[in-house]
Amino acid sequence: MKLWLLTLIDNDALRASAPVVTGFVVRAEDETAARKLAAVFAESEGRAAWHDPTVTKCEELTADGPAQVVLLDFRAGS
């Protein structure tokens, strides 16, 4: 299995006031499986967004590359 980083490319869903998922880190065999898994957890951006490479990008995560935050898990207090 590989790790995949899926992110929402700027589109109307990012400007919506409804809940929207902007990214995932998933474990899957390939990009198709990663996109399919992400789509299951879609919110107002819709499941189709995670299958469409013009709306979302999907890249394999490896140990190589620049230092970066892969996941920021944030919960706003009420």
- Report the C-alpha gap between 46 and 43 in whole angstroms: 6
Location of structure tokens 């995932």: 24
pLDDT (tens digit, 9 = 90+) per residue, 62-73?
988 889 888 877
Amino acid identity of residue 48, one-letter, is A
Q: What is the pLDDT of residue 17?
A: 74
Quickly count: other Cβ atoms within 10 Å of residue 58's Cβ.
Answer: 20
What pTM did the predictor assign? 0.82
pLDDT digits (tens, 9 = 90+) for 21-52: 889 999 999 999 999 999 999 988 889 999 99
- In the chain, the DSSP E strands lie at 2-8, 23-28, 56-61
